[in-house]
Amino acid sequence: MNGTSNVEQSANQSPPSPRSRREFLADSFMAVGVMLGLGSLAFRFAQYLYPVILPERLVEVSAGKVTEIPAGGVRIVNLPEGPVILESVGTEIRAFSAICTHLGCIVQYHDDKKEFVCPCHGGRYDLDGKVTYGPPPRSLDVIDVKVKSDEVFVMMKTQKEEKV
């Protein structure tokens, strides 16, 4: 040791030089950038945790004319809210969702076997929409039908916003 204490050494040091304007501005812009980045990250994280889910509502959608459904037959109609199976049974018209309950594929109607078949994993449904074979966990969803002056309307669930 050279005999000087820490207090004396710190007293001999000169005070730190003032920061230049360039350093101050660079540090300020860096701090603002970090705050904006962290803020946008926090905002996106909050959106992920609490997504905006539009409420489901039922809408009446035209699915065609009664005469377009073969008597005692089936017709699959693609609507904006999803594909629908229309079935004519006597004087009654029934409707089912054409979306397989297993993984969401669109089922196809096989007239020769009188059944609906999922092309993805081989699930089979009878004409009542009930599972007869394969991996689907439940029957096809039943859709309410209204017939108004030869026009078939189905009640579909939608999350679309109403146009004002």
Which comes out higher in pLDDT, residue 32 or 17? 32
Which comes out higher in pLDDT, residue 147 or 161? 147
CA distance 63 to 83: 10
User: Which of 151, 158, 136 lies closest to 62 in space, CA to CA?
Assistant: 151
Enter the CATH code of domain 57-158. Answer: 2.102.10.10
What ranges do the domains of the chain cover? Answer: 6-49, 57-158
Q: What is the mean pLDDT of residues 72-98?
A: 86
Q: Say yes or no to pLDDT of 140 above 80.
A: yes
Distances (CA, A) of 48 to 2, 39, 51, 111, 158: 63, 14, 6, 45, 22
